[in-house]
Structure 1
């Protein structure tokens, strides 16, 4: 007679797995550590570079370099991770090197020294998100966790960092930006060592998984959707804080502006699970793009306090819903053995080629036109919407039919 422990029904379900909440907490902490860094870097790194006596054009180049480096770093590391089935080990190495490299920035304000270090930052920090997202999506599917509710903790950390850093800077000096990034890097490294380490199957085929994906027309349409949507944030990421500072807003108020957008993003991640699960990614991309057209036109037109506060919640659409659409497409269309390569290509092209180019061209354009360069970002959002419409008509949304 079989004992109760031997029956199939005795196997814990994902919802009763005792490690489920521990895994959810660890994944949430991963995003928290990563976005503690982003919460200081995005709003205030341009301010630190400006304090070193650099021009807007030079700031644009330095800010775009990490994005361009990831064009090579992300696919190289991701393809290796897919081939070995191991993502955690490279994450720990990258996070550790980042911590050391950030300490070298105060040594010199020479442009070429800062450019070299920006390359190192791009190689070490950028791949952490696609590697960690692949692990997170895998664990969320295995343990029936809501990805959006895990991811929102990163947004909370961003708010804490951006507002907290603004408060610190109003009472100190811009030199503290580097030290805040260093402390955030230490926290990020410690959390990375606690990440799950799921070992996935080896690739489905020999040869380059990257080239396999790039030969798929639907995947290229998908990349255009996310690429132009993320590229539309170039002026915002590079010069929003610089512009608001020149308009007379305090660092603390600038932190509030950034926080408003991310609070809206958190609300979206908390409640959007069911909505996203039942919607075609192309529709979600279109919603984000339409919101971008409105947001960038307003920011390009006025510095009015209340209008800025009014449109900042649209960050939940321009970034949040777009991010969920991107992750949803990969989860539904791409086999797990190719997931890191797909995540990497998405991050490489959207945050590397598209966003890097957008940040780079924003430098000289901002010098000449000021905040009116946001109008170009609105054009990028419109292009993203056009590709989103094509995606809804091209890919029907059946699970993994894309790769069959």
Structure 2
């Protein structure tokens, strides 16, 4: 407790860890849905409803945080509500209740990631923490939780999933009480100001690249576990495959400062788009387990490189009084809407064509390469973040 009180980096890292523990368990929700009798199409609908409600709620949460001038009370409410809804899954067995619970949980949980990122970036700009190493705590916790949950589910069954999810969100709620705050000018909710973000070229290009590259993860998040299970891969091995993705991500966040600085937003996005073509193109085919294991470290490129590219652009181009709103809109339209739409499409495609759904993901993520020339031009208009305070 003394360390939590003394170090903002430890407090923010601990909150990232608890939230990402809940996120790691979310990867197993499709298995829980399937064991409750939901079809692939119904699973896609639940995932899509959860993601699309983030689009509606996310910008609102950001505006509330900018208006209050503090992120901590909003994060406390959001994490507490998400934990309660996780427990509600335990009582649900039919499609409609599961759909409603998932939708409301998506609505409340949509506040957590963008507000935590905006808090960490604000602290990084003030020189209080370094974004990459602190964010890597979340990735490390995600990896450990993914592997541990896979091991537990392989022995106890999928009934544990909602309990583990609720525990992660509940711990995040407790840790939110100790989060540091950043002094910021209060900004009243203003639709015109939020819409003005779209006149910002750095914001627009970050949003478009994120939508294509992160949206292409929808089939992986929704159906990779089912796809691997259909190939005879056990839940423990699935957990290790999912955890393996995060190892390279952690290394990039924690140790990749020089590489990130050298590539900059354009290079990071280009690498993420090329990796999307390779990763999802190979995933479309039934491969031996060792080969499948060799593919998973590409997650550091398809997810982490684009995430860092977007965070760098938002940190450079968006004023501090609109930081929470910008992060929330980016999360909603860059992650939520594309993931929701692609989840619907993925459910339909997976039900009919199985693993070939990943070929569509390769095309979507790879198309971000077309935006890289514009990104080079836009990124050149801003000075790099000061040394030691880069969001990467």
TM over 0.5: yes
Q: 2:192 corresponds to which residue?
A: 208
1:180-215 CA distance string (max 9 Å, x none): 112222211111111112230134996532101023
C-alpha spacing 1:244/1:340, structure 2 compared with 1 (3 Å):
same
Aligned mate of 2:54, from 66, 70, 86: 70
Q: 2:16 corresponds to which residue?
A: 31
Quote the Cα distance in structure 2 between the aligned partners of 1:136 and 1:165: 27
C-alpha spacing 1:339/1:293, structure 2 compared with 1 (3 Å):
same
Q: 1:122 corresponds to which residue?
A: 106
Q: Is the 8 Å Cα contact of residues 286 and 389 (structure 1) preserved in structure 2?
A: no
Q: Is the 8 Å Cα contact of residues 201 and 337 (structure 1) preserved in structure 2?
A: yes
Q: 2:365 corresponds to which residue?
A: 381
Secondary structure, aligned partner of 1:104: helix
**Residue 366 in 1 paired to residue 355 in 2?**
no
Quote the Cα distance in structure 1 between the aligned partners of 2:205 and 2:127: 31
Secondary structure, aligned partner of 2:126: helix
Quote the Cα distance in structure 1 between the aligned partners of 2:190 and 2:25: 41
- Give unmatched runs, 5+ long, in structure 1: 1-17
Quote the Cα distance in structure 1 between the aligned partners of 2:45 and 2:222: 10
Quote the Cα distance in structure 1 between the aligned partners of 2:111 and 2:166: 18
Quote the Cα distance in structure 2 between the aligned partners of 1:133 and 1:20: 20
Q: 1:11 corresponds to which residue?
A: none
Aligned mate of 1:324, from 294, 308, 332: 308
Q: 1:256 corresponds to which residue?
A: 240
C-alpha spacing 1:251/1:397, structure 2 compared with 1 (3 Å):
farther
Q: 1:82 corresponds to which residue?
A: 66
Once the two structures are TM-superposed, the CA of residue 90 in structure 1 deviates from its matched residue by 0.9
Number of residues of Structure 1 aligned to a counterpart in Structure 2: 383
1:43-93 CA distance string (max 9 Å, x none): x10000000001000000101111100111110110121123121111101
Secondary structure, aligned partner of 2:7: helix
Aligned mate of 2:142, from 153, 158, 173: 158
Q: 1:333 corresponds to which residue?
A: 317
Aligned mate of 1:183, from 159, 164, 167: 167
Secondary structure, aligned partner of 1:175: helix
1:157-199 CA distance string (max 9 Å, x none): 1111111111111111111111111222221111111111223
Quote the Cα distance in structure 2 between the aligned partners of 1:193 and 1:205: 24
Larger CA Rg, structure 1 vs 2: 1
Q: 1:22 corresponds to which residue?
A: 7
Quote the Cα distance in structure 2 between the aligned partners of 1:394 and 1:269: 24
Q: 2:26 corresponds to which residue?
A: 41
**Residue 244 in 1 paired to residue 200 in 2?**
no
C-alpha spacing 1:272/1:251, structure 2 compared with 1 (3 Å):
same
1:103-152 CA distance string (max 9 Å, x none): 11122222111111111111111210111111111112213532111111
Cα RMSD, aligned residues only: 2.0
- After TM superposition, list the pairs within 5 Å mapping 1:93-242 onto structure 2: 93-203=77-187, 208-242=192-226
Q: Is the 8 Å Cα contact of residues 203 and 313 (structure 2) preserved in structure 1?
A: no
Q: Is the 8 Å Cα contact of residues 20 and 143 (structure 1) preserved in structure 2?
A: no
- Give unmatched runs, 5+ long, in structure 2: 385-392
- After TM superposition, list the pairs within 5 Å mapping 1:303-322 onto structure 2: 303-322=287-306
Q: Is the 8 Å Cα contact of residues 213 and 342 (structure 1) preserved in structure 2?
A: yes
Q: 1:8 corresponds to which residue?
A: none
TM-score (normalizing by structure 1): 0.90
C-alpha spacing 1:270/1:217, structure 2 compared with 1 (3 Å):
closer
Quote the Cα distance in structure 2 between the aligned partners of 1:222 and 1:187: 31
Quote the Cα distance in structure 1 between the aligned partners of 2:125 and 2:204: 25
TM-score (normalizing by structure 2): 0.93
Q: Is the 8 Å Cα contact of residues 79 and 209 (structure 1) preserved in structure 2?
A: no
Quote the Cα distance in structure 1 between the aligned partners of 2:36 and 2:356: 25
Once the two structures are TM-superposed, the CA of residue 323 in structure 1 deviates from its matched residue by 0.8
Once the two structures are TM-superposed, the CA of residue 216 in structure 1 deviates from its matched residue by 3.2
Once the two structures are TM-superposed, the CA of residue 275 in structure 1 deviates from its matched residue by 3.0
Q: 2:252 corresponds to which residue?
A: 268
Once the two structures are TM-superposed, the CA of residue 286 in structure 1 deviates from its matched residue by 0.8
Quote the Cα distance in structure 1 between the aligned partners of 2:151 and 2:189: 52
Quote the Cα distance in structure 2 between the aligned partners of 1:142 and 1:386: 35
Quote the Cα distance in structure 1 between the aligned partners of 2:189 and 2:242: 44
Q: 1:281 corresponds to which residue?
A: 265
Once the two structures are TM-superposed, the CA of residue 341 in structure 1 deviates from its matched residue by 1.3
